[in-house]
Structure 1
């Protein structure tokens, strides 16, 4: 019997699911993606810093990054360049730690190595020798990924998923789902803001920052909120050789971007409100990023902001990991709440959800730890490495 799957949200996660599901579907099956913003100007995948790392505290996140890296490497451009179709650049993440942070960072590195991650660790003296432009006197530890980390073009990756899905007859339509219509224990249709109605057999909530609103229409509450994150593009007049993707001991993120740098920091909890307008918060740069980076990297005292933008994290307020699997009505599935690492993990999530829908279980990588049922059982999997 043929199946019609409605995917709510066509960003990085929704389009990845459409890409893998359309490849695995049986003859007669249909996939329809409903996307509220087909320009993707406001999509998290377009507004992301689009980096990928293997250094996580949750083993499953490490494995998702490993598959994500290999998937992106396999995407060759017209010239046959590996990773060229998604703008993949390899550069390791360097995590810096003070004395009080060293033990947890070392434990994470050991756990990552057990999963095949290549990591090089540094003493403060070794850090100073390797990165002479950086002040290290307050540091006790450093760890850098030696392979399989870097950055990519988030928009290009999302469009690659979309084009592959459409080539396999997935249909994309513009619309905003405002209600899911139920009959007994199942959803039978999605109602759009223009009043139109789309019937389906399975419904996947990949609405990102707006996924909680979709879930509430069937009486399901998920702890996913839209949290604003500002990214600054800055310039420095002094060339800095061998610059990694840096996670400072303060939590500030900075990476190269051609002749500039991208930098960001998580706002403090009291000002990190839901659904803030997507206007860049320049106070973060003036009050936190610039003074901290100027201390860490003396040349950064001359940093100049060239431009800035803001996008939403689909933030899981409970344990910072994605919610993936069936929830509520029998034919309702969610893939949301990845808290900033959804795009780098989108290939693994897309593949996994496609397996779940077509085969009834996971085959390649067991995503069951991400099941929304953990919200009821209390068996949370807290991700410490959220930036």
Structure 2
């Protein structure tokens, strides 16, 4: 869609993938928001967006109460789209194979116990398992060097993230949000420097804006620099492989996490999906989606086969590289307004958690833009203040 060369919108959202579309949808559905919304998306195919290249999982096994609550709402929302979004939306489910964290050191076992206490206090179904209990429930694991396991098979596993994204975008458009194929290339602040007055698009259009929201994914730091702001967000490459096993497992495989960050889960009835990254994990060029030809043989495959010997004989059938918008300070999202440029807002740095967090973050940001405060869930611990002060919001359960 094209827009006129000069126009005013109450909210301009930079980025139309999962986060931008979630916010636009929640704003459009809010009975108390009567403003105009423009979503600026540079690539309407979303071919290389993190939304499209994600492994589409959701979990409650975090170590902080806020992250648990964010994904608990995500699970509720995903499974109740006809009630919470639109009667026309499909009923989605979560394939509850769960996440299995395996501890092979006393320190990691202590971390699992501490996180378990946080999770169950909020109603999560997380269970701690001894090595014998792990072996009884999942005989394919090697447990000789394990100390403890943690698993939750309630509202934790795989969901259809692409359908969720499609419905966010569809509902936002239906209810009046404008999506345009373009890109913000510059911003003009007022004389005091405390507000963004307008944004200029690559097409040449100038948009006067009430509020600006940066939902630019891995390009988030580039977008903030136009407003004279720096954030510690960088694109980091993440690799995915889908494979078959010569001897398939006799039951569904939970998403199993190695301390190195390598993880593997059931994909279909006959395939498995593994993900990970190299030990050297630098920022990458925005256009770099090349695979590392040695990573699978040298690191990923051996790491999979160690706890699951049946994965010594497997065949890769598909592979791709995606990216995280990594918050290098603490691997947690940056949400809400800047403390000096008051109408510039962040939805950045999700570090691989964006898809599962999108419903709660979109709802929260819509509340803030409508009422000037969070109402359903206080997201302020994820605000910009900690970035300015260099004080991480500590989340131990990062993959």
Task: Give TM-score, length-normalised by structure 1.
Answer: 0.94
Distance (Å, rounded) in 1 between the aligned partners of 2:181 and 2:142: 51
Tell me which of 342, 358, 361 is aligned to 1:346.
358
**Secondary structure of residue in 1 paired with 2:81:** coil
Alignment of 1:242 with 2:229, yes or no, is no
- 2:224 equivalent in structure 1: 215
* Residue matched to 2:113: 106
- Change in Cα spacing, 1:221 to 1:67, as seen in structure 2 (3 Å) is same
Which residue does the alignment assign to 1:371?
383
Aligned-partner Cα distance in 2 for 1:333–1:66: 24
Q: Aligned partners of 1:302, 1:330: CA distance in 2, in Å?
A: 56
Q: Please report how far the alpha carbon of residue 273 of structure 1 lies from its aligned counterpart in structure 2 after TM superposition.
A: 2.8
Structure 2 residue corresponding to 1:320, chosen from 322, 327, 331: 331
Q: Which moved more, 1:340-349 or 1:104-113?
A: 104-113
- For 2:213 and 2:322, the matched residues in 1 are separated by 23
Q: Is the 8 A contact 2:63 2:395 kept in 1?
A: yes
Q: CA deviation at 1:281?
A: 2.2
1:262 is the counterpart of 2:269: no
Counterpart check, 1:177 vs 2:184: yes
Q: Distance in 2 between matches of 1:40 and 1:346?
A: 17
Name the counterpart of 1:191.
200
| Cα offset, 1:84, TM superposition | 5.3
In structure 2, list runs of 5 or more residues that go unmatched.
1-7
* Correspondence 1:33 to 2:44: no
Is residue 2:128 matched to residue 1:129?
no
Aligned-pair CA distance for 1:170: 0.5
Structure 1 residues 83 and 69, CA gap change in structure 2 (3 angstroms): farther
Alignment of 1:79-90 (within 5 A): 85-86=91-92, 88-90=94-96
2:71 to 65, 73, 78: 65
* Cross-structure match for 2:20: 14
Relative to structure 1, the CA distance from residue 107 to residue 3 in structure 2 (aligned partners, 3 Å threshold; closer, same or farther) is same
Structure 1 segments, 4+ long, off by >4 Å, are 25-28, 80-87
2:393 is equivalent to residue 381 of structure 1: yes
Residue 25 of structure 1, CA deviation: 5.8
Q: How does 1:146-157 map to 2 (within 5 A)?
A: 146-157=153-164
Q: Give the Cα separation in 2 of the matches to 1:286 and 1:133.
A: 22
Deviation at 1:133?
A: 1.1
2: CA distance, partners of 1:382 / 1:7: 28
SS at match of 1:90: coil
Q: CA 1:350–1:98 in structure 2 vs 1: closer, same or farther (change >3 Å)?
A: same
Whole-Å separation in 1 of the counterparts to 2:281 and 2:328: 14
CA contact (8 A) 2:33 2:370 kept: no
Question: Matched residues in 1 for 2:265 and 2:26: separation?
Answer: 31
| Match in the other structure for 2:29 | 23
Aligned equivalent of 2:167: 160
String of CA shifts for 1:187-222, please: whole Å, max 9, x gaps.
122112232222211100011100110110111000
Indicate the residue corresponding to 1:47 in structure 2: 53
CA contact (8 A) 1:85 1:156 kept: no
Partner residue, 2:315: 304
Contact 1:73 1:83 in 2 (8 A): no
Contact 1:76 1:83 in 2 (8 A): yes
More displaced, 87-96 or 287-296?
87-96
Find the counterpart in structure 1 of residue 373 from structure 2.
361
Q: Is the 8 A contact 2:198 2:206 kept in 1?
A: yes
Query: How has the CA–CA distance of structure 1 residues 192 and 81 changed in structure 2, closer, same or farther, with 3 Å as cutoff?
Result: closer
Instruction: Could you tell me which runs of 5 or more consecutive residues in structure 1 were left unpaired when the two chains were aligned.
Output: none
Offset at 1:42?
0.9
Question: Of residues 197, 200, 211 in structure 2, which corresponds to 1:202?
Answer: 211
1:286-315 Cα offsets, whole Å, 9 max, x none, are 111111212211110111111111111010
| Structure 2 counterparts to residues 256-295 of structure 1, below 5 A | 256-258=266-268, 259-268=270-279, 270-275=280-285, 277-295=288-306
Q: CA deviation at 1:275?
A: 2.5
